[in-house]
Amino acid sequence: MFRMFMTILRTFAFIALMLCNFMASALEFEPGLGIGLEHTDNATLSADNPVDDLIAIGYVGASLVQADGPLRANISGGFNFLRYTNDTFEDQRYFNLNATADWEMAPDRFDWFLRDFYGQRLVDTADPNTPDNIQGSNSFIFGADITLPVTGRQTITLLPEFRDFYYEFQSTDNQQLSLTASWDYGLSTLTSVGVKGFGRAVEYDQPTGSDVTFFSLFFTFASERVNSDFSADLGSTRVERENGQATEEITGKLDWVFSLSERSSLRTFMATDLTDTSSGALRGIADPGTGDPNDIQITTDVIRNKLVSVGFTRTYRSLESSLTGQIRDLNYSESPNDRRIWALRGEFNFPVAAALTGGIYAVFNNTEFIDVVRTDDNTAVGAGATYMLTRKLSTNFDLKYRKRDSTLETQDFDEWSAYVSLAYGFGQPVQPTRVGGFLPRHTGSDRIPD
């Protein structure tokens, strides 16, 4: 708990120090308050003994945005207090923080950056997301982006980073130092090729974790067109562990965003890499289009992480729709956590009246656990509505059904839940890690990642 507090404190201290130097620039600040009620007919997500409960939720949060000048920051956070009125679980307190800050010391030459993501994740990703299987986790990243022009067509970029990962219950806390050096050659104004080298050392706090070092070398290609952005890396990664284990394999990624129209786009992301579990999950936290972070069980292993993700989005005024499909293969070097996952998620939000927005959503996930005889089918479907009482005051309703059908019968469950809330300003009262949920983006609220 002390490490968690110190990590959050230093994040705020660093950002506050930078903001003090640029108070002349306009800051946008929006506070938020909210209350909510959720009724569930299976609070414990049990196969045999479902328990009804009414959950009272209180929320306070805020958003701070600095969009102009050499310092740019986007910070949002919230505190949720949950009370189970039938005492199924003890009172729960959940804090969430999403902080990014960039300080441009020399334009197009030297930037400091900071990222901090504090939220909730599952202790054991194979078990249901009840309060006794949820832990606080923090990812803190601090570094610099250094650009060194060589000629009009050639550029060298250096990216030193420090990362600190904290987990409330698991003994997998670690610190990481890394350096990325890349050389890019511009074939044209919008197309470049290059070479990128990368090294990262991971040191675990607990002696049971074997420290590990990664070395990678990639050939890179990037191209921008009127309707698309394309980038690709292909190379190899060598892994050396403190216990003497070593391996070297082909790694790389492809990211292609294609604009179908002014209002719709298609993104294809493919990757195969050797990494530690903390870094593998971080990519999904920072960019949800690159995979669900809760697919990855946090351990001290090195993992082979293979992912194919295709996502479609369309936005027109208050009409929003998205459809995402993912296939993932995770292989762990030591622990029996190998799994194959395929998932499909769809959302459709639409205006009903001037101040009323409705929506429907569906989530399906199939997880095959390779090292044990077990396959889970997880489904969540629901519908919701948001009514804007004023420009800042809104009420939200969500009705949801969840079901897990597992070959391990003790993991089966199904649940109906109904949720209603009243919120002012930024954010919404929520129950972290709950799959699905209707909180439309146009209210100014950011849903905590599932």
Number of domains in the chain: 1
Give the Cα separation of 15 and 34 in Å (integer).
26
pLDDT at 440 over 80: no
- Give the residue-averaged pLDDT of 281-306: 92
Tokens found for residue 186 = 């511009």
Reported as a pLDDT band with limits 50, 70 and 90, residue 446 is very low
Give the Cα separation of 319 and 358 in Å (integer).
10
Per-residue confidence (pLDDT) for residue 416, from 0 to 100: 96
pLDDT at 89 over 60: yes
Q: What percentage of residues in the chain have a pLDDT greater than 90?
A: 79
Task: Tell me whether residue 326 is in a domain.
Answer: yes
pLDDT at 405 over 90: yes
Task: Tell me whether residue 267 is in a domain.
Answer: yes
Q: Which domain holds residue 400?
A: 2-443
Q: What is the pTM of this model?
A: 0.90
Give the Cα separation of 200 and 202 in Å (integer).
7
Task: Tell me whether residue 346 is in a domain.
Answer: yes
Per-residue confidence (pLDDT) for residue 445, from 0 to 100: 34
Per-residue confidence (pLDDT) for residue 290, from 0 to 100: 86
Give the Cα separation of 225 and 263 in Å (integer).
17
Reported as a pLDDT band with limits 50, 70 and 90, residue 152 is confident
Q: Please state, rounded to an integer, the average pLDDT across all residues of the chain.
A: 90
Count other Cβ atoms within 10 Å, centred on residue 276.
25
- Give the residue-averaged pLDDT of 253-279: 95
- Give the residue-averaged pLDDT of 41-69: 94
Per-residue confidence (pLDDT) for residue 442, from 0 to 100: 38
- Give the residue-averaged pLDDT of 182-190: 95
Identify the bridge partners of residue 403 per DSSP, sorted by sequence position.
379, 414
Task: Tell me whether residue 449 is in a domain.
Answer: no
Task: Tell me whether residue 450 is in a domain.
Answer: no
Identify the bridge partners of residue 308 per DSSP, sorted by sequence position.
270, 327
Task: Tell me whether residue 130 is in a domain.
Answer: yes
- Give the residue-averaged pLDDT of 141-159: 95
Task: Tell me whether residue 186 is in a domain.
Answer: yes
Per-residue confidence (pLDDT) for residue 185, from 0 to 100: 97
Per-residue confidence (pLDDT) for residue 449, from 0 to 100: 30
pLDDT at 317 over 50: yes
pLDDT at 12 over 60: no
List the single range of 185-189, 289-293, 340-344, 416-420 with lowest mean pLDDT. 289-293
- Of 108 and 144, the one with more pLDDT: 144
Count other Cβ atoms within 10 Å, centred on residue 428.
27
By the 8 A CB rule, do 390 and 382 touch? no
Task: Tell me whether residue 108 is in a domain.
Answer: yes
Reported as a pLDDT band with limits 50, 70 and 90, residue 443 is very low
- Using alpha carbons, list the distances in angstroms from residue 77 to 3, 8, 55, 61, 195: 18, 11, 22, 5, 38
Reported as a pLDDT band with limits 50, 70 and 90, residue 67 is confident
CATH number of the domain encompassing residue 341? 2.40.170
Q: What is the pLDDT of residues 109-134, one digit of tens each?
A: 999 999 999 999 999 999 999 999 99
pLDDT at 268 over 60: yes
Per-residue confidence (pLDDT) for residue 15, from 0 to 100: 56
By the 8 A CB rule, do 120 and 82 touch? no
Q: What is the pLDDT of residues 329-373, one digit of tens each?
A: 999 999 999 999 999 999 999 888 889 999 999 999 999 999 999
Per-residue confidence (pLDDT) for residue 448, from 0 to 100: 29
Tokens found for residue 81 = 């207090």
